[in-house]
């Protein structure tokens, strides 16, 4: 006698009826704006072990016939690390700071415009937000690189526009659009009763927004804002394609200086991976901790 599998236990659940999925207090089944931070924050020693395994074991198998040893490759990396960090990674951080600052400042304004009752303000803001939020970052970077001149003249003053500055502008565009969405979402998450109460107390719209609504949702904006900062930092290596001398470009140059041994690839780029992780992990942990704290008391 064959045992009939029980749907959902012994076999995949299948039904043509509407199914209410199990309740998830973190709302992960719906849309998780902190997906990235949650992923990074959950990494633990097992992932580190796996990473070490790849870095240490894979090249010994792949390049077993070569005379250049893996030890030499790590020695080369050790020599280059101070240079890669101070000249390369710090530049990535610098780019991320500037892009975040510009993206946040413009994004907040754009986000406030998105909830304007005046459609002449609201509709362009929504359009700009959606356009830059849904465009590939690399495409935006190239557009900025090619569309901006290498220098601008302001009142007879010539200001050079180096590639890294263009990269900052290019990266600030998607950040701007995403922060705009964060602001809009946070404002709209405040119950409409707050607007009505303020309205009935004769507050103007502007007063309501700045005195009552924004102070309430400011905290709610911090975790997604930090989440976007971590994503942005991880995206700064894209600038290497614009010829900006950040960590990836410098790693490539260092590998070339070390005679392009293929054994160098994993240690050097593994190091880049590690240093980005070391920078973003605390941010992700902090983001998730803040999110939990703010979720409890409102």
Binding site for another protein (CB under 8 A): 191, 193-194, 196-204, 207, 211-212, 215-216, 297-298
Instruction: CB nearer to another protein: give 98 or 195.
Output: 195
Cβ proximity to another protein: between 35 and 197 the closer is 197
Distance of closest approach, residue 105 Cβ to another protein, in angstroms: 24
Task: Compute CA distances 254 → 81, 106, 264, 270, whole Å.
Answer: 10, 37, 9, 14
d(CA 227, CA 185): 15
The minimum distance between CB 291 and another protein, in angstroms, equals 18
Side-chain half-sphere CA neighbours of 139 within 13 A: 6
116 vs 194, which CB is nearer to another protein? 194
Q: How far is the CB of 198 from another protein (least distance, A)?
A: 8
Q: Which residue, 79 or 205, is less far from another protein as judged by CB? A: 205
Judge whether 164 and 244 are in contact, CB under 8 Å.
Answer: yes
In the complex, what is the shortest distance from the CB of residue 189 to another protein, in angstroms, rounded to a whole number?
13
* Least Cβ distance, residue 46 to another protein (angstroms): 40
Residues 6+ apart with CB under 8 A from 138: 238, 241
SS3 track for 162-179: CHHHHHHHHHHHHHHHHH
Which is closer to another protein, CB of 191 or CB of 262?
191
Element (H, E) at 143: helix 137-147
């Amino acid at each position: 006698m064959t045992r009939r599998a029980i749907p959902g236990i012994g076999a995949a659940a299948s039904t043509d009826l509407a199914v209410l999925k199990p309740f998830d207090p973190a709302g992960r089944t719906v849309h998780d704006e902190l997906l990235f931070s949650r992923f990074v924050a959950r990494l633990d020693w097992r992932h580190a072990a796996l990473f070490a395994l790849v870095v240490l074991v894979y090249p010994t198998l792949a390049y077993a016939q070569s005379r250049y040893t893996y030890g030499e490759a790590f020695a080369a990396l050790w020599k280059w690390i101070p240079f890669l960090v101070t000249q390369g990674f710090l530049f990535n951080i610098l780019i991320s700071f500037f892009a975040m600052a510009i993206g946040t400042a413009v994004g907040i304004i754009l986000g406030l415009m998105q909830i304007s009752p005046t459609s002449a303000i609201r509709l362009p803001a929504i359009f700009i937000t959606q356009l830059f939020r849904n465009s590939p970052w690399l495409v935006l970077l190239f557009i900025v690189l090619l569309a901006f001149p290498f220098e601008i003249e302001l009142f007879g003053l010539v200001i050079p526009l180096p590639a890294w500055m263009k990269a900052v502008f290019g990266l600030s565009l998607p950040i701007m659009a995403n922060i705009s969405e964060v602001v809009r979402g946070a404002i709209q998450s405040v119950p409409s009763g707050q607007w009505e109460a303020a309205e009935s107390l004769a507050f103007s719209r502007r007063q309501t927004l700045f005195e009552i609504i924004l102070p309430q949702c400011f905290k709610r904006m911090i975790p997604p804002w930090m989440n976007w900062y971590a994503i942005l930092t991880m995206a700064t290596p894209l600038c290497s394609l614009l010829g900006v001398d950040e960590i990836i470009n410098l790693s490539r140059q260092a590998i070339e200086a070390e005679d392009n041994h293929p054994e160098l690839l994993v240690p050097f780029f593994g190091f880049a991976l590690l240093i980005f992780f070391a920078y973003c992990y605390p941010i992700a942990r902090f983001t998730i901790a803040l999110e939990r704290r703010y979720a409890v008391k409102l």
